[in-house]
Structure 1
Amino acid sequence: MSRLLFTACLLALSLPWQPALQGAVAAEKPNVILILADDIGIEGLGCYGGTSYQTPALDQLARDGRRFTQAYAQPLCTNTRVQLMTGLYNHRNWIAFGLLDPQALTIGHWMSSAGYQTCIAGKWQLQSYDPPTYPGAVQRRGRGMRVEDAGFHEYCLWHTGHTEMKGSRYANPVINQNGQFRRDLAGKYGPDIWVNYINGFIDRHREEPFFVYYSMALPHWPMVPTPDSPAWQDPQRRNEEDVRYFKDMAEYMDKCVGKIVQHVDEAGLAENTLILFFSDNGTHLKVTSQTRSGPVSGGKGKTTDAGTRVPLIARWPQHIQPGVSHDLIDSTDLLPTMMDAAGAPLPEHFPIDGRSFYPQLMGQPGTPREWIFCHFDPRPGWDKDRFRLQRFARTARYKLYADGSFFDVPADPLETKSIATGQGAPAAEAARALLKQVFTQIDQPLTPAVSPAAPQRSP
């Protein structure tokens, strides 16, 4: 029995469905499309007040759906992607940068077990990262999860192996499609290949529930021309790096989203398709974007809002009431939310840090978070020794670090002046007390603990 099938069987047996309800649930399963941008904070989108880049597709998605103003990721990509894939904070299952625990249960496993046809396209970078000469690399190279074991039925991905073999993600991309490297991509542009693959997947599976995870490359460095850049017309300039190309890349990111949304709509699938757009961290440090409130410098790699506050948009016509939500959300919440949308809630015995915001999407009060937590340490990993462990817990307004630093974030977004104990307003001191309690409990095992009947990865 294949590893995927074995895992799917275990998951299916563990899901808390009643047999009499399975048919009804299956008939109501929406399609789910999760789009994860790579390196863009809220200042990059017009619907969040950004003015530097034209993002009409995402702005329309926000008008048609629910836009979240208090959504948070980790400061770097792998850290967020591990949380998103597993619903767990990094201190519970972190291995190293560019690696996902090969025994983890992912959104691919869960959605496949719930009866979905599943696809991932774009960036993988979760199996191997360190170059062979990097200190300690021999202990880590190739020790992450292979995409073949991640639970998806189909894939079309960049960086599925070692870093030195990854090749380009943009011009003349190197793409592994279902176990074969494509040989027809000279002169092509990676994001176009992924969008076309996704739309083809949708066409092939439109008569059954499908799940698409588009793990975008855009607008991540290198900042190079897109097919909409004048420089693209000269093949010799397609790898020309300049920060000015970030604008073109951000706008092409929006264009890619628009093509997928348009395809869903033209296929008549809009009212049965939940589309989620999220980002893995803030904008690159070299980029300064203009907003209606003034300039914002990119904060990728930082634990400030510029590095962690990201866009989150959800659209599902006739199901999600358009509007704005100020509920606190983090990247661990996406997995349980999607499973609830699929009519297949995670088993009660399954340990998870994430909290579903599906009720809020459906116009119900739900149980919004009082706080989120961040354990950020991208080490070990190539070029990551410049970072250090940082831990914080926060409410929508106040933020407490493990070293005791405490900030009123809206009033001090760059976190330059810590509020001494006892010197804050009553609301601040109440928040400080709450967040101190988070630190006392966050390292405890999750409860309820995994029971013997819980799903486990096959050996």
Structure 2
Amino acid sequence: MCRILLMLMAVLSFRAVEAADKPNIILLFADDISARELPLYGSNVWSPPEGGDTSDLKYRATTPVLEQLAEDGCWVTTTWAATVCSPSRAMMMTGRYAHRHKWWTNRDIGEVQREDGTYEKWPLYESSPLQIGHIARQAGYGTFWAGKTQMAGDLQKFGFDEGCFTPGKLTDRDNPYTDFKHAYVKRNGERVLINVDTGEPADTYWQHGWYWYPHVRLMNHPESRKKPESRKKMEWWPNTPESRESFGPHTYGPDVELQFVFEYMQRQHAADKPFFVYHCSHLGHDAFDWLHPDMNTKWPGTPVVKWDGTGYSRVPTKITGDDGVYDTHGTVTEPGIHHHVNYLDYQMWLYRKKLAEMGIDDNTIIIFCADNGTSGYGKHQSDRQKGTHVPLIIYAPGMTKHGRQDVLVNLADFLPMIADVVGVEIPSDYPIDGESLWPFLMTDKRTHRDWIYAYRGAEQLIRSQYLMKDGRGRWWDVRNLPDDLISFPEIKEWDNALELHRAERERLTETIEPFDLHATEHDAPGTRPNPNAAYLKQKKKGNAKK
């Protein structure tokens, strides 16, 4: 596979442009945030702290910076991801759909059988050896990966020079610096999930703390490589006496990510080299609340930030206590996804402020997006576009499009767009499914693509500007956008349907046929199905119920 990658890279060509002329790229990829959570999208419904639906304005986010970014640049009304984290990231990073990379859904990932007969998840760098990190790197960019990876395999093979992960993979269990984590123990002969901080059973799914007192791992950090005793490519942070001294429950993972992102940007700029930052924030993802372990909250509070009409200020965080009993001294917000969105707005303000200070704001492209719908509303859902409809805001100096853009975009379109930006030509014999958005953004082109696609395991979703098929096989009239962004009229009586819709149904049905390989080509080529695969067990269970 390494030989294949080298051959691919050998045939890549890119424009001979001076480093200073190449635009920097920041891709801020939020987690589990539906388009409806941003006021920009005009929905009359959003998510309350416990999940579900609300129209209570006190739970609506406030995003002045993202709205300014959308005005300076543009925002897209209908952008589709997959319905859950891993396959969405796979789609975006590779420019391909699941029939090629085999990441069908989080617990349904195609496997590869190794020479010794063992099975493992087929890593994206094997199924798709040309990804966004590889493309940027080949164009002479420094590449940095921050936050949540949601990827299997060796994180150093995805085309990124350095990284700051929180923590990277759930298999990274040996962090010695924080006890905000879960562990399975045997008690009275039973396997029990406990909160390591308190030693008490935890009624949740197994996870690390990625917000407060976070698990942070650095990849290829230059200071780490200077230490003879720790010349490892991956190192736990805090990694210096000073950082260990200041580390504690008040330390906030999204702040740490941004600290290392900014440090990397500074180093690249000082070396007169362009950078590509792929920042996968956890913000938006629900989580166990380590500061309130007995409270049934969905989205733990964030640091308090305040907007004065021109800029943000952040209240210094103070958290005292231990063993599950903590006092936040009024420096942490109440729970709620709206606070997560607000904090993303604050971080975007920090990004734009930093770029201006560095003098590169007029030579940096910013992309804000998310990986799938909100937990408790859209995540994992194939009902209409609940799980797939995500926000997309793009700012690029010199772009011709501004404000609202009523076009269709797939996350798969990001890879060819980034290739266009950095000047890399994708080999003609390397198939991708995305279509570059760059010509639309930079010319007088009025449309982008006429259908978008998503998947959830064996379920397939597709839509045009007029018609949508969801993963449950239902068809919807999507000519007009409802106030809640989801309550489209269902089409059931096809004999009485518009000719437009009948023709679209035929066209869209034919379009998705080549992608429908879940049952026949689920795994890596040449791999026999693993009898212990989770998706096969689930399938057998479903058949038994019938």
Whether TM exceeds 0.5 here: the answer is yes
TM-aligned CA deviation for residue 24 of structure 1: 3.4
RMSD: 2.9
What residue is the counterpart of 2:88 in the other structure?
A: 80
Which shows bigger deviation, 344-353 or 150-159?
A: 344-353
What residue is the counterpart of 2:293 in the other structure?
A: none
TM-aligned CA deviation for residue 316 of structure 1: 1.6
What residue is the counterpart of 1:189 in the other structure?
A: 252
What residue is the counterpart of 2:146 in the other structure?
A: 121
Partner SS state of residue 305, structure 1: coil
> 2:375 corresponds to which letter in structure 1?
H
Partner SS state of residue 429, structure 1: helix
Partner SS state of residue 151, structure 2: coil
Residue 474 of structure 2 is aligned to residue 405 of structure 1 = yes
What residue is the counterpart of 1:294 in the other structure?
A: none
Determine the C-alpha separation between the residues in 1 that align with 2:172 and 2:405: 42
Determine the C-alpha separation between the residues in 2 that align with 1:248 and 1:7: 45
Q: 1:390 to 1:33 in 2, by over 3 A?
A: same
What residue is the counterpart of 1:199 in the other structure?
A: 262
Determine the C-alpha separation between the residues in 2 that align with 1:307 and 1:250: 18
Determine the C-alpha separation between the residues in 2 that align with 1:167 and 1:400: 37
Determine the C-alpha separation between the residues in 1 that align with 2:378 and 2:401: 32
Query: Is the 1:11–1:110 Cα contact (8 Å) retained in structure 2?
Result: no
What residue is the counterpart of 2:368 in the other structure?
A: 277
Query: Is the 2:468–2:477 Cα contact (8 Å) retained in structure 1?
Result: yes
Would you say how many aligned residue pairs link Structure 1 and Structure 2? Answer: 396
> 2:350 corresponds to which letter in structure 1?
K
Which shows bigger deviation, 245-254 or 112-121?
A: 245-254
Determine the C-alpha separation between the residues in 2 that align with 1:276 and 1:350: 25
Q: 1:72 to 1:367 in 2, by over 3 A?
A: same
**C-alpha deviations, 1:416-457, integer Å up to 9, x for none?**
73433332112211211211221334358xxxxxxxxxxxxx
Partner SS state of residue 32, structure 2: coil
What residue is the counterpart of 2:12 in the other structure?
A: 15
Identity of aligned residues (%): 29
What residue is the counterpart of 1:70 in the other structure?
A: 78
TM-aligned CA deviation for residue 319 of structure 1: 3.5
TM-score, normalising length: structure 1: 0.79
TM-aligned CA deviation for residue 126 of structure 1: 1.1
Query: Is the 1:407–1:415 Cα contact (8 Å) retained in structure 2?
Result: yes
What residue is the counterpart of 2:302 in the other structure?
A: 226
TM-aligned CA deviation for residue 305 of structure 1: 2.5
Query: Is the 1:360–1:366 Cα contact (8 Å) retained in structure 2?
Result: yes
> 1:114 corresponds to which letter in structure 2?
A
What residue is the counterpart of 2:42 in the other structure?
A: 49
What residue is the counterpart of 2:496 in the other structure?
A: 423
Q: Which has the larger radius of gyration?
A: 2
Q: 1:415 to 1:324 in 2, by over 3 A?
A: closer
What residue is the counterpart of 1:97 in the other structure?
A: 106
Query: Is the 1:337–1:355 Cα contact (8 Å) retained in structure 2?
Result: yes
> 1:435 corresponds to which letter in structure 2?
L
TM-aligned CA deviation for residue 277 of structure 1: 0.7
What residue is the counterpart of 1:170 in the other structure?
A: 211
Determine the C-alpha separation between the residues in 2 that align with 1:154 and 1:29: 20
TM-aligned CA deviation for residue 158 of structure 1: 1.6
Equivalent residues in 2 for 1:29-428, closer than 5 Å: 29-49=22-42, 52-95=60-103, 97=106, 100-103=123-126, 104-105=128-129, 106-127=131-152, 145-163=153-171, 165=173, 167-178=208-219, 179-183=234-238, 184=244, 185-186=247-248, 187-206=250-269, 207-222=272-287, 223-228=299-304, 233-235=318-320, 236=326, 244-285=335-376, 298-303=377-382, 304-365=384-445, 368-377=448-457, 389-401=458-470, 404-409=473-478, 410=480, 413-414=486-487, 417-428=490-501
TM-aligned CA deviation for residue 180 of structure 1: 0.6
**C-alpha deviations, 1:109-137, integer Å up to 9, x for none?**
1211121100010111212xxxxxxxxxx
TM-aligned CA deviation for residue 36 of structure 1: 0.5
Determine the C-alpha separation between the residues in 2 that align with 1:78 and 1:245: 23
Structure 2 unaligned segments of length 5 or more: list them. Answer: 44-56, 108-120, 174-206, 220-233, 239-243, 288-298, 306-314, 321-325, 518-546
Query: Is the 1:125–1:159 Cα contact (8 Å) retained in structure 2?
Result: no
TM-aligned CA deviation for residue 10 of structure 1: 3.9
Q: 1:14 to 1:364 in 2, by over 3 A?
A: farther
Q: 1:189 to 1:242 in 2, by over 3 A?
A: closer
Determine the C-alpha separation between the residues in 1 that align with 2:366 and 2:379: 25
Determine the C-alpha separation between the residues in 2 that align with 1:209 and 1:373: 32
Q: 1:217 to 1:320 in 2, by over 3 A?
A: farther
Q: 1:375 to 1:394 in 2, by over 3 A?
A: same
> 1:395 corresponds to which letter in structure 2?
S
Q: 1:75 to 1:402 in 2, by over 3 A?
A: closer
Which shows bigger deviation, 197-206 or 299-308?
A: 299-308
Partner SS state of residue 23, structure 1: coil
Which shows bigger deviation, 22-31 or 35-44?
A: 22-31
